[in-house]
Amino acid sequence: MFDNVTKSIRVLSAAAVERASSGHPGMPLGMADIGVVLYKNFLKVSNKHPDWINRDRFVLSAGHGSMLLYSLLHFNGFDISLDEIKNFRQLGSKTAGHPEKDFEIGIDTTTGPLGQGFANGVGLAVAERYLASVFGEDVVDHHIYGIVSDGDLMEGISTEAAELAGLWELGKLIYFFDDNNISIDGNVTQVSVTNQKQKFISMGWDVLEIDAHKENEIIDAVESSKSVTNKPTLIISKSTIGKYAPNKENTSGVHGSPLGENEFELFLENIGFSGDPFIHDSEIYSYFDEKRVDDNSKYDEWKANLESKLQSDKKFRQLWNQFNNFETSKVELEWSSDEASRVVGGKILNEYGLSNKFIIGGSADLAASTKQVISDNTFGSNNFGGNSIEFGIREHAMGGIVNGLALHSNLIPYGSTFLVFSDYMRPSMRLASLMNVNSLFIFTHDSIYLGEDGPTHQPVEHLMSLRLIPNLDVIRPSNSKELIHSYRYALEKRNNPIAIILSRQNMKFFDNDVSYKDFQTGAYEFRPGTDITLVATGSEVELALEISTKLKDLSVQIISAPILNRLSEERLESLGLSQNIFTIELGRTIGWDTYIKNIKKSFSIDSFGESAPIDQLAEKFNFSAEKISNEIRSLLT
């Protein structure tokens, strides 16, 4: 029966790609056997409760092979109909080319950008171990399985994440490496000489080698992997890409293009299938029934145990309620001294950490500089209950792991580094935005005012560059009430990622009583005025105040815009800006006119910085209150 089921998986997958005239048939044809074994023998998933927190997770890091996943979910009774299969890659369909995530139909995560899924799976494994430590293994105890490709392992992010997984001894993580020696442009051996087995062994992984087309070898490998509890496992699975396509199997031509009419017919003949390729015997569907019935029964048992613990264990009930209903409005922090916003922000984050166990994260070897430390309880192989993570100098992996933590359930994960290094994390931030997950990215050293380190470390284009990412809220607070609001905003459940941007240099304290409601609109009136309007963000609000003192003969309105990308036309109109609008920000000019029209001049930085003390940089780039106020006067005459 196993052979008949794998045949149907291959046929349905290839047929959907052929119908769409678009897709990647090679991977589903090559990895069908592993997919069937996982769903039949191992994956603990519920088609009645697909978002069950204690389900096993399946990461399709090789997301181009999404038809394999769709076919498996269809035959396992998840909400993917035959019509949806036929609408593969079509507008409005549930079956997109790279689905990323959809818990309601059984998709935990898949990734288009290779390597990202690998890192996501490590984040999922961290979340599993952490929550098992907090709630007990009767509530959280599951595995993370995945399929990774040659391309995944060539991307640097996977090596970064793999080393951390080995270091942390994440024994619940089991990856199948689709070792078919084919990439888009030809044989992998043309571009890689890496011995993946030795590489992963050196990073603390358990490594097995199997024939990807032999059921018993696949089963034995998974059972062996599950018995190794102190190491993640890589199962090197020798496969044939495009298996059963007589002229295209084991070639790059079957990776990313439909088989084509003639080859598809030969494929059906070669695999021994006749009839409509979208119609399959009822026994194919019933093949998975016993496993799904068993898993749904396990869900019922789990749910009953959960309800019992909620009734009998007050401490557990409080934790579970906090986990599912995170309150952010209770934390307040008062201060009145001149400090960098990174320092004040770190205090706020730490204050939240004192009352909530479900904020988890850390920095890329920069905690001493970014100050974003949630607690002194560090996560590791000897302490899965730590919520402070040391990522090492691995910004790429940090971004992907943070997304994996967010994908797991209700954790609120964050990663922190210098703003200039956000370039390393951009693919992860983009995917967080695409997947609507609550990842938090905290960036410090936000301008050329980090000083002597020089232009390699001084961000210039980064603020506007991050604002270009749809669905990512970029917050640059001044050092007043805005900072408290920033963390509250970021830690609330809002189904989109947040980037908080903080200063290295001290900023003058000033009292500010902006309401949370006004803060959320993106911009508000900091000081009223009618003659000119100064719009500023972050530390430049302080500069705007200095400028206003040098323009005492004018009525100067100051607008603070902490979340510029949230500023709507309606909100902007309600602020009543003057006819003379000037913007002030230590970043690129480009983009300001997207948010605010009829700007008379943007005071910005449109070149790289210099190595120098802050006061010299202000003079060099004409960012002193004296120079800006003089130029404003000249522009008004």
Catalytic residues: 395
Torsion of CA 215, 217, 222, 227, to 10 degrees: 140
**Which residue bears the tokens 């790609």?**
17
Report yes or no: 18 and 265 within 8 Å, Cβ to Cβ. Answer: no
DSSP string, 505-557: SEE--------HHHHHTS-EEEE--SSEEEEE-TTHHHHHHHHHHHTTTS-EE
Report yes or no: 590 and 563 within 8 Å, Cβ to Cβ. Answer: no
Strand partners, 581: 533, 599
DSSP string, 150-189: HHHHHSHHHHHHHHHHHHTT-TTEEEEEEE--EETTEEGG
Strand partners, 440: 414, 498
Q: How many residues does the chain have?
A: 637
Integer Cα distance of 110 and 308 in angstroms:
35
DSSP string, 375-410: -S-B-BTTBTT--EEE--S-HHHHHHHHHHHHHHSS
- Here the tokens at position 623 are 């960012």
Residue 263: closest CA among 31, 17, 69: 17
**Which residue bears the tokens 């952010």?**
328
